[in-house]
Chains A and B, each alone.
Chain A
């Protein structure tokens, strides 16, 4: 994947679409976990959510530099 994408002559970092995609995937996972009530069994739900998101975004980012 290219590191930078050109949109109408403007350079946009390739990480941006990956960030947005990670947000979408995160929203899906979030809803699924919340509907099953799994967040109630977790010690620090927001920490878990942040960690999950970081994993998703970093995994996408690794794909980019490979």
Chain B
């Protein structure tokens, strides 16, 4: 079931009109669902005699989203956040009912910590944190002059929010639902096709570095988008939930194959630049069958591709042996073997990836064991600290002002400022979002004025109320369907519903209306001011530098952390870190180059350590390899010329110490070749070929 398609004749003659009509139909379905959910909630809240039906109605506006999976995910986290916040509010009030200053200080601290926690997550988990913060404020403030009311206040708040959430979830999931699952399937298949095309293109010729960086960015975005979608769709579709572990596995295999592809290409490019043409030709010959295996008429059919890749792997040793015989010389053989090991790994990972995709599409169980995998997030604690500081300062300043002025509506201002500084902190451009919300809120204020003092007094009964208000209510959800106006739309809806505060019996109090309205507008404005004075760090140069450092520290983790599950967590964390600054990153920037280098080196280190754990080596070799690991980790921690020399020497010593023909040795060679890459960001630290002429040398 989807929105009604436009008439075929119109669509053919004016294609843009067809598109426009389809978009409009989708938008109006959303508006209809929104308004239905709002009024249904309002009616139920009055019927159940809840204190503030408007809170339940506001919840609808906050949770509603065109896609039902998003609504359910957001609802789930909202419930969690509301319960936590209420419990904390309750505990705080019972602990400090008399000491106002201490009480407000702790409240501000709690909200600030929650706001900080929210910046550590980039999906709805963040929302849970924000809610846990401001729900405590909402629960506590009405009862601040009479602490005995706190329990009722908390129960009312929770009931109203739960009612709103329940109605929204049911309405959005039952009536003309727009499934997120469809989007997930499309993007997963698109990602698969895109990657297979990339591999095919890459195994035919050599890709230039810029193209590879671009592909790397795409792959990273796709992997993270898939993870975020998966985390929301599991609420909508029990089938996706049942296969959730498999989707995670697919994503991890995808990242693994992408990294190996990059490593292989960097290796080939380096050999080429160094004039090792014989080795390069042999390697190109070696991986050509992969491209041929992928080049079939059904080019994006995973089951077909998997069969062909398996055949390719079976023929691999026979294909490898004659090519290897050409290389008698020791160094050339090492180079070739390193490349061959990478090609074989790429082949194995491609089989795993296509196999997982095929199993997912057909619904068959996956062959072999399914490892437990997790998408690890890479987090920037300083970013969180900035959010904590901003929220804390805003709250404290407002509390002090409120205490000093004894302004009756001070609580409102504080509430709105808290809510918005929490909610908008995670948006990419909080100042813009806050100003849009402020405009929307101001318009909503005027609409609320019209509604409360012109439309409502002349309407009798709930049916008349719906008829009178529906027109003005529709404006907000309609604005929300336009991406540029979405913030304004929600601001408007919050303004209209919050200020009119429909209740039973209705209270018409012009003075209170203006007091509340102006104080809330002031609150939204103050959150805007706080964003202007303490800017978010997203996209700033400072953050880029910090992320760069965190990225490089991942290499150290690859060299030190326990091996169990490290490969997966390394792949996801590096990508997630890069994602945080990616909006301001162009292909070719320093950050991207570092990300590629970190990924190649880190992955090699992990593989090296896995080999080390599996093979029996004598003590001197083990010691030499350990020293090499430490030296490389130190180099990435704070790169400079002397550390580069140290790392290079340590790796070379380890190569000499390792027994010939061991897999450890190939990984060590790959490590050395990555260190000596002239195009990597490590290049400035390498000594120039003209002896001692490097400006970086001490």
Binding site for B on A (CB under 8 A): 10, 30-31, 33-35, 37, 39-40, 44-47, 49-50
The answer to whether B174 touches A46, judged by C-beta atoms less than 8 angstroms apart, is: yes
- Among A40, A45, A49, A50, the most chain B Cβ lie within 10 Å of the Cβ of A45
Which chain A residue shows the least CB distance to B241?
Answer: A34
| Chain A residues with CB below 8 A from B177, complex form | 46
Q: Which of B151, B174, B241, B242 has the most CB of A within 10 A?
A: B242
Task: Give a binary string over B26-55; 1 marks a CB under 8 Å from any A CB, 0 the rest.
Answer: 000000000000000000000000000000
B interface, CB within 8 angstroms of A: 68, 151, 170, 173-174, 177, 237-239, 241-242, 363
Q: Which residue from chain B places its CB closest to the CB of A31 in the assembled complex? A: B242
B residues within 8 A CB of A37? 239, 363
Among candidates B68, B238, B363, residue contacting A33 with C-beta atoms closer than 8 Å: B238
Closest to A39 in B: B239
Q: What's the Cα separation between A22 and B174 when bound, in Å?
A: 20
Query: A10 to chain B: which residues have CB within 8 Å?
Result: 151
Q: Are B170 and A49 interface neighbours, CB within 8 A?
A: no
Query: B238, A49: Cβ atoms under 8 Å?
Result: yes
Whether B242 contacts A35 by the Cβ 8 Å rule is: yes
With A34-B238, A39-B239 known to touch, is A50 a contact of B174 (CB < 8 Å)?
A: yes
Q: What residue in chain B is nearest A29 (Cβ atoms)? A: B238
Verify B238–A39 contact, CB threshold 8 A.
yes
Contact A34 B239 (CB under 8 A): yes
Chain B residues closer than 8 Å to A44, beta-carbon distance: 174
- Bound-state Cα–Cα, A39 to B174, Å: 15
User: Can you list 8 residue pairs at the A/B interface with Cβ under 8 Å?
Assistant: A31-B242, A33-B238, A37-B363, A45-B237, A46-B174, A46-B177, A49-B238, A50-B170
Instruction: Identify the interface centre among A30, A31, A34, A40: most chain B CB within 10 Å of its CB.
Output: A34
Chain B residues with CB under 8 A of A39: 237-239
Other A-B contacts than A33-B238, A34-B238, A47-B174, 4 sampled, CB-CB below 8 A, are: A34-B237, A39-B238, A45-B237, A46-B177
Closest B residue, CB atoms, query A10: B151
| Across-interface contacts of A30 in B (CB, < 8 A) | 238, 241
Shortest distance in angstroms between A37's beta carbon and chain B's nearest beta carbon?
A: 6
| B residues less than 8 Å from A49 (CB atoms) | 238
Q: CA–CA, A19 to B146, complex, Å? A: 33
Nearest 10 CB-CB pairings of A with B: A34-B238, A30-B238, A46-B173, A34-B239, A34-B242, A35-B242, A31-B242, A47-B174, A46-B174, A39-B239
Complex CA distance for A39 and B237, rounded to whole angstroms: 9
Shortest B535–chain A CB gap in Å is: 42
Chain A, Cβ-Cβ closest to B363: A37
A57 to chain B, nearest CB (A): 12
Chain A residues with Cβ below 8 Å from B170 are: 50
Q: Name which residue of chain B comes closest to A26, CB basis.
A: B238
Q: Would you give the shortest CB distance from A27 to chain B, in whole angstroms?
A: 9
